[in-house]
């Protein structure tokens, strides 16, 4: 009889260990650490514009696909219809990536034109925002939604 009780008790040990591991995994998922580079869209826009915000403008042309086959390589083109002498920088932001700042480009008159093209990663369906900061301190922007069919960055 003692042997039978011992074996029953012994079979309960792995079950308890497994239950403990499941609880640890659940806690680890809850406490998912943020990247040291994590920055929200709101904070990124504040940093880029110096806290002044940006106005929607038709002078900023943002060209992105409506549907991105792969979120890891989404082509983005930005053209600012303002003389290059008045444009300080172009910033590409995303609304749902852990780091909203996808690209920052600082321009000079030697660039000839306020234009920028690149590829960015998108973690899922979200808006892509192009912000042009002008030399007078104001900022103008354009935004477009992009639907991602295959995940990009995580």
In the chain, domain spans = 1-32, 41-148
Q: pTM for the full model?
A: 0.75
Tens of pLDDT, residue by residue, the chain (154 residues): 577 766 666 666 665 555 555 555 555 555 455 677 789 999 999 999 999 999 999 999 999 999 998 899 999 999 999 999 999 999 999 999 999 999 999 999 999 999 999 999 999 999 999 999 999 999 999 999 999 987 555 4
- Provide the CATH topology of domain 41-148: Immunoglobulin-like (2.60.40)
Q: ∠ CA(107), CA(113), CA(114), 5° rounding? A: 55
State which H helix or E strand residue 76 sits in.
strand 74-80
Picking from 94, 149, 84, the residue whose alpha carbon sits closest to that of residue 119 is: 94
Look at strands 139-148 and 55-56 and give their pairing: parallel
CB 120 within 8 A of CB 72: no
> What's the token pair of residue 77?
């083109």
Q: How far apart are CA 17 and CA 22, in angstroms?
A: 9
């Amino acid at each position: 009889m003692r042997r039978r009780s011992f074996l029953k008790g012994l079979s309960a040990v792995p079950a308890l260990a497994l239950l403990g591991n499941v609880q640890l995994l659940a806690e680890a998922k809850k406490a998912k650490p943020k990247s040291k580079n994590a920055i929200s869209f709101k904070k990124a826009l504040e940093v880029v514009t110096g806290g002044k915000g940006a106005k929607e403008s038709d002078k900023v042309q943002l060209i992105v696909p409506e549907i991105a086959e792969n979120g890891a390589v989404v082509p983005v083109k930005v053209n600012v219809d303002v003389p290059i002498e008045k444009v300080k920088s172009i910033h590409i932001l995303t609304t749902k990536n852990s780091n909203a700042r996808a690209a920052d480009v600082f321009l000079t008159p030697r660039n000839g034109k306020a234009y920028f093209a690149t590829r960015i990663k998108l973690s899922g369906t979200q808006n892509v925002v192009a912000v042009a900061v002008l030399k007078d301190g104001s900022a103008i922007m354009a935004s477009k939604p992009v639907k991602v069919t295959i995940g990009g960055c995580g």
